[in-house]
Amino acid sequence: MTDLSAFGHDPWWLILVKALAIFVFLVLTVLVGILAERRVMAWMQTRVGPNRVGPMGLLQSLADGVKLALKEGIIPAGVDKPIYLLAPIIAVVPAIMAYAVIPFGPEVSVFGHETPLQLTDLSVAVLYILAVTSVGVYGIVLAGWSSGSTYPLLGGLRSSAQVISYEIAMGLTFAAVFLDAGTMSTSGIVAAQDDTWYVFLLLPSFVVYVFAMVGETNRAPFDLPEAEGELVGGFHTEYSSLRFAMFMLAEYVNMATVSALAATLFLGGWHAPWPISLWDGANSGWFPLIWFVAKVWGFLFFFIWLRTTLPRLRYDQFMALGWKVLIPVSLTWVMIVATVRAIRNEGYSDATAVISVAGVVIALALIVLLWKVFRGKRDLRRAEPVLVERMVPFDAMAGGFPVPPIKESSDA
């Protein structure tokens, strides 16, 4: 059983300080994240980026927030007003609530009180995060439905299908971590990685989780619910001013949440990376807070990198990736982890080596499978015109109007 005796004894003022600190951390992460995304994308695409507001453009995010706050909030005539106004709140609040069980560090002294750098913990903390973030998706679905417009409705429907598909794969990655750690508590999972991080021990789960977390946050190349080229703006097309800003806040807070969860489950949480971990004081005091924030920002940079370099997937490719690749691989891997866990319970000492080797093999197989799936689709699209030209005779009057045949030039 995980020891949760350190939680539940803080005075009321310390609980308020922790909650306020988490809220301020998330707001600052969003402000810095928006600016960092624009600057990093400009750097990767050889552009200038924001450089006008404040020194070196550092106040651009603040200026954008003030601009949104001062804009007129337009409510279309055909909306379901109560749900339309409630949807942004439903999207934001669960994203912030999920951070209640994220461990930022070990026990420290705050004004003479020994307390863990974590608001609280539960015996089923990771399931709590999964449940709370699932509720946040209702904000997107209800925003699309209540807007009374076609494109937001399509975005909401896409979001519901997307969440169902990728939360199954994400939940299976959690199951592998639970089986090896023997607990669902976030602090217990971090403690179980004191010697070996799960990114090495459970590599297939980490690879699947990376795909699932990008799909869960509606980020490129999986931003199908708000695909600007297809749906104008998707579920938030009819939103403006602060209500639109709340959806953007929810998106970036969700990015920070899944990044913190990835660091907690697979990168040792607040444990220092090697070779910093060789220092005796690296995992004590306030230093672990630095390692944890650095890991979170590493994943945030990964989100920005994906958006800058990859085009959006087609929706059928996106669904096929979730149902035909990620979920079967996750199920197979969970069965392997459960078998190795049973072997370890019987007292065999080489179970760790077995699961490590199997993890590398499964991860490589998953990468090769993904490469073949997407490469095969490209090859099929290239071959389609040739097959149609050879097998189907051209009929100039097929549509009722004479249409001349279009031949591809040799330069094409």
Q: Is the pLDDT of residue 397 over 70?
A: no
What is the value of pTM for the model shown? 0.84
Please state the three-class secondary structure of the chain as a single string: CCCCCCCCCCCHHHHHHHHHHHHHHHHHHHHHHHHHHHHHHHHHCCCCCCCCCCHHHCCHHHHHHHHHHHCCCCCCCCCCHHHHHHHHHHHHHHHHHHHHHCCCEEEEEECCEEEEECCCCCCCHHHHHHHHHHHHHHHHHHHHHHCCCHHHHHHHHHHHHHHHHHHHHHHHHHHHHHHHHCCCCHHHHHHHCCCCCHHHHCHHHHHHHHHHHHHHCCCCCCCHHHCHHHHCCHHHCCCCHHHHHHHHHHHHHHHHHHHHHHHHHHCCCCCCCCCHHHCCCCCCCCHHHHHHHHHHHHHHHHHHHHHHHCCCCCHHHHHHHHHHHHHHHHHHHHHHHHHHHHHHHCCCCCHHHHHHHHHHHHHHHHHHHHHHHHHHHHHHHHHHHHHHHHHCCCCCCCCCCCCCCCCCCCCC
pLDDT tens column, 159-168: 888 888 888 8
pLDDT tens column, 9-59: 889 999 999 999 999 999 999 999 999 999 999 999 889 889 888 898 889
Q: Are 88 and 95 in contact (CB under 8 A)?
A: no
For residue 254, the model assigns a pLDDT of 92
Mean pLDDT score of the chain:
84
φ and ψ at residue 269, rounded to 5 degrees: 65, -125
For residue 388, the model assigns a pLDDT of 47
Q: Is the pLDDT of residue 373 over 70?
A: no
For residue 118, the model assigns a pLDDT of 93
Mean pLDDT, rounded, for 263-269: 94
pLDDT tens column, 78-128: 888 999 999 999 999 998 999 999 999 999 988 888 899 999 999 999 999
The residues near 223 (Cβ < 8 Å, ≥ 6 apart) are: 312
Top-confidence residue, 254 or 275:
254
Q: Is the pLDDT of residue 386 over 50?
A: no
pLDDT tens column, 168-209: 899 999 999 998 888 999 999 999 998 889 998 888 899 999
For residue 13, the model assigns a pLDDT of 92
For residue 321, the model assigns a pLDDT of 87
pLDDT classification of 410: cutoffs 50, 70, 90: low
Q: Is the pLDDT of residue 297 over 90?
A: yes
Top-confidence residue, 290 or 363:
290
